[in-house]
Amino acid sequence: MRPLPDRYLAPKTRRVWKITAGFESIFLFLIPAGYWGAAQVWELPMWIFYTLVGFFLLTAVLSIFILQPLKWKRWRYKVYENEVELMRGVFIVERVIIPMIRVQHVDTRQGPILRHYKLASVTISTAATVHEIPGLEMEAAGELRDQIAQLAREADPDE
């Protein structure tokens, strides 16, 4: 059996994911807020509102404080000469192997939150899909992008 990948994401990635989950939770609170507004216009049972608030509070706490650290702990990757291996997932663990010969291009990407924390994501594009290694230090992301691009060029028999 193949050993587990041994490279982890940057520790600051947990903070970024918690902030993102917080924004998602705020957006989901529009559902109970909408119900409350509808209850002000029509005579709707308030127990449904309280149930929705409780459900979304529980979902927010689970998402922000429990799932994000577990997700970070499980996320690993490793670059080999002929392939890139990714491992992710909390409940269902997914291990993906990307052959270098299938890599079409490699990019780094930053949103505003990643930029604030000086992090970047590396995206690996194949004909079928795009794979992402999120939350690497900017310098490490650039080096990883260049390493994968070089290995992909060497693996291409047409060059």
Confidence at 2, pLDDT banded by 50, 70, 90? confident
| pTM of the shown model | 0.84
Mean pLDDT of 71-78: 94
User: Which tokens hold the place of 32?
Assistant: 């109970």
Q: Where is average pLDDT lowest: 37-46, 55-64, 136-145, 148-157?
A: 148-157
Q: Give the tens place of pLDDT for each residue, 87-107.
A: 999 999 999 999 999 999 999
Instruction: Say if domain 76-155 classifies as CATH 2.30.29.30.
Output: yes
